[in-house]
Amino acid sequence: MVKRIGVLAVAGLLITNLYGCILLAGAAGGAGTAVWIGDKLSDQVNVSYDRAINATRSALRSMKIEITKESKGTDVAQFLAKYSDGKQIWIDIRPITENSSKVDVRVGRLSPDKAAADKIMKQIKRYL
C-alpha cells in the first residue's frame, strides 16, 4: 500500500511538472513574449512568413543598419547585417503556419548583446 502511494505521488509530480512546462510554453508563445534561447532572442509572431521578412527589412533600414546579405528559401529567410561599429547581426525567420512565423535575432559574435537584440526585435514588431 505504501509503495503504491509512493508510485502515485511520483507519477503525480511528474505529470504536474510536465503540465506546468506545457502551460509555461503556451503562455510564452501566446503572449508574444520574446525569449532568450542560447545566444539568440526568439519570438513567434502572428504574421505570414513574407510579412515577417518585409517587417525585418523595414526595421533594419529604419535603424540605419546595413544589410550585408539576405537570402530567402521556403523554410528559412536569413539576414546578415552589421552596425556601423562593425558588430554582426544575424536574423533568421521561419514559417510556422500560414499566419505565424518564428523570428530569431542574434547580435555579436563572441558575446551576444541581449539589449541590442531586444531593440531590433522590438523594431521588427513595430513594422508587423
Q: Could you report the per-residue pLDDT of 71-97, keeping only the tens digit for each?
A: 999 999 999 999 888 899 999 999 999
Q: Are 73 and 21 in a shared domain?
A: no
Please give the residue range of the domain that contains residue 23.
1-31
Q: Distance between CA 37 and CA 117 in Å, rounded? A: 12
Q: Are 50 and 83 in a shared domain?
A: yes
The β-bridge relationship of strands 100-107 and 88-97 is antiparallel
Q: Are 117 and 59 in a shared domain?
A: yes
pLDDT of residue 24: 38
Q: Distance between CA 90 and CA 30 in Å, rounded? A: 24
Q: Are 16 and 41 in a shared domain?
A: no
pLDDT (mean) for 21-29: 39
Q: Are 21 and 63 in a shared domain?
A: no
Q: Could you report the per-residue pLDDT of 27-68, keeping only the tens digit for each?
A: 333 345 778 888 899 999 999 999 999 999 999 999 999 999
pTM: 0.73
Q: Are 27 and 38 in a shared domain?
A: no
For residue 123, the one-letter residue type is Q
